[in-house]
Chain A
Amino acid sequence: MASLRKSFPIVARDFVHAGEASIHVQNILKSMHLEPALIRRIAICCYEGEMNAVIHGGNGQIHMDIEADRLALEIIDDGPGIEDIDRAMQPGYSTASEEAREMGFGAGMGLTNMKNHSDEIHIDSAPGQGTCVHMHFSFDGKKAVS
């Protein structure tokens, strides 16, 4: 079974270029002719994760693994980590900086959006240890990579 791995760097607090990697991901998925609704879900999760890492994290990476029947997205940053993951998952809860709020973020919907748009989400994080968000998207039997 062939799989395709793509990785993109994330630069902390680089609000000028933040989101470019996710648009790149969106374009790759469009060129693979995945279902538009699925592309939108993956792009939203990738973008929210990328913005979280830019806003809160240190530097990081996005890893996308496209397999025959599913896509795995991993967003890793070496930032301060999440103190209380359950609380961070609550819609409306945000610790975003003033700078991030000026860019239209800090609505406290980032992780909620990622949870709602992915088929599976798992967050590994602890204070001082950075954050890794894993997400899976099923293709429902439709083959994406041959």
Chain B
Amino acid sequence: MRELEARVLLGEDGLNAEITRCGASDLMSDVLARPTDGILLLTGLTSVQTVRTSKIAGVVAIVFVRGKTPLPEVIEVAKTQQMPLFSTSYGMFACCGRLHALGLTGLDGRR
């Protein structure tokens, strides 16, 4: 998160598990179509369905890109689902590049 200069919106302590895989998508059914268990999700979509999709798919934490932050009611849902949320001013492309440089892989483990 330091690499993305991300602001913590929720669940600072929730990120104890080491994350090695990352996915980036604004389409929720595309998230559900892939092996997303245990990943970090980068997305520009701040709707409540981002939180619920992530919960169903086994996403460990969500980073909202392009400086977006969800509405308070969405953060409230994330709180009940214990889903850590972050926000970064970097765009999707820059976030992917920075995390790739750190050694994170895609959903299938490939770089």
Contact = CB atoms under 8 A, between A and B. Distances in A.
A, B bound: yes
B55 A113 contact: no
A19 B52 contact: yes
Majority secondary structure, B binding face: helix
A110 B56 CA distance: 14
Contacts of B48: 15-16, 19
Given A43-B56, A44-B57, A47-B56, A103 B49 contact: yes
Contacts, number: 75
A116 B56 CA distance: 16
Interface size class of B (residues with CB under 8 A): 20 to 34
Interface stretch (B2-10, B12-20, B22-30): B22-30
A105 B29 CA distance: 6
B70 interface: no
A35 interface: no
B56 A44 contact: yes
Interface string B68-104: 0000010000000100000000000000000000000
A107 B49 contact: no
Interface stretch (A20-28, A56-64, A78-86, A124-132): A20-28
Contacts of B26: 104
B32 A44 contact: yes
A47 B37 contact: no
B30 A109 contact: yes
A104 B32 contact: no
Interface in A96-137: 102-110, 112-113, 116
A116 B49 contact: no
Interface string B36-49: 01000001010111
Nearest to B48: A16
Contact of A22 (B43, B50, B56): B56
23 contacts: A15-B47, A18-B49, A19-B48, A19-B49, A19-B53, A36-B37, A40-B56, A44-B32, A44-B57, A48-B29, A48-B32, A103-B47, A104-B28, A104-B43, A104-B49, A104-B50, A104-B53, A105-B29, A106-B27, A110-B29, A112-B33, A113-B29, A116-B33
Interface of A: 15-16, 18-20, 22-23, 26, 36-37, 40, 43-44, 47-48, 51, 102-110, 112-113, 116
